[in-house]
Structure 1
Amino acid sequence: MNWDEALGIVARPTGGSYGAPVAEGAGFKYDEATLHELVTEWNALANEYADDLDQARAIAVAQPPGKEYASGGNAETTQNSGAALEAALRHRIAYCKSMASKYVTALGKYATAEDHAKTVINQPPEGIA
């Protein structure tokens, strides 16, 4: 199975490093382009789960096709499955949004560090006339 096609990914994003290992210790470091990519991808995944959630609602409210016992039991089982699916999708949406938010926060820190570096670089040297 080609997971890219199954997930609707037709082309890999360009730019970004997707996490060069940090030599000093555990973790990864990302460049600005990668952070933007990650925010976009996590938000897109959250939106896909939200679309699935809309469709899962139909399962959660399934009605029995007839009035006999077997139909009612089947519908109840289907409704329980739909409710479990809705709960799982809501959890996944929240997780994806949380991840996107973390990368937005990282972008803010990145921008702050860049601004500080520019300020330091643009200061006139001391002691040179």
Structure 2
Amino acid sequence: MPEGAPVYQPGFNPDSICKAPPTGGSYGTPVAEGAGFKYDEATLHELVKEWNALANEYADDLDQARAIAVARPPGREYASGGNAEITQKSGAALEDALRHRIAYCKGMASKYLTALGKYATAEDHAKTVINQLPEGIA
């Protein structure tokens, strides 16, 4: 196991040629006061984008899973009907699982958007405080 803080590389998957090259970012600095991590603004934006992209991929899969959920038997005999019924149940389970995954991904994106809002609020507050200080050395 490598030593030091793990590095998050947004958009980078070393096992895939379809992903973009590393763009930087980090998992963040462990928070001394308690559990959790700190993220920089760029990493938060990238995480929102990635979770939304994953939700969209699952939504595309959900569109295709519908064909399984409405499968028709190839013939009118008992075996074909039973096979189609099992296939439809499998398709319905797949649709349900994909809906849960979509909701999870959207929830994660929402959490990072909330963090971005807190980040922006803290930054605005810091700017206000700095702008209220007198200029130059007193």
**1:29 alignment partner in structure 2:** 38
2:133 to 100, 124, 127: 124
Structure with the bigger RCO (C-alpha within 8 Å, sep 6+) is: 1
Give the letter aligned to residue 45 of structure 2: H
How many equivalent pairs are there?
Answer: 124
Cα distance in 1 for partners of 2:56, 2:73 equals: 31
Cα distance in 2 for partners of 1:95, 1:9 equals: 23
Given that residues 16 and 32 in structure 1 are in contact (C-alpha distance below 8 angstroms), is that contact kept between their aligned partners in structure 2? Answer: no
Give the letter aligned to residue 67 of structure 1: R
Structure 2 unaligned spans of 5+: 1-12
CA RMSD in angstroms comes to 2.0
TM-score under structure 1 length normalisation: 0.88
**1:15 alignment partner in structure 2:** 24
Are 1:96 and 2:105 matched, yes or no?
Answer: yes
Select the structure that is richer in helix: 1
TM-score under structure 2 length normalisation: 0.82
Matches within 5 A, 1:44-83: 44-83=53-92
1:50 and 1:13, CA in 2 relative to 1: closer, same or farther beyond 3 A?
farther
Q: Which region of structure 1 is more displaced relative to structure 2, 24-33 or 112-121?
A: 24-33
Give the letter aligned to residue 27 of structure 1: G
Q: CA deviation at 1:3?
A: 7.8
Cα distance in 2 for partners of 1:21, 1:99 equals: 20
Structure 1 unaligned spans of 5+: none
% identical equivalent positions: 87
Cα distance in 1 for partners of 2:22, 2:73 equals: 46
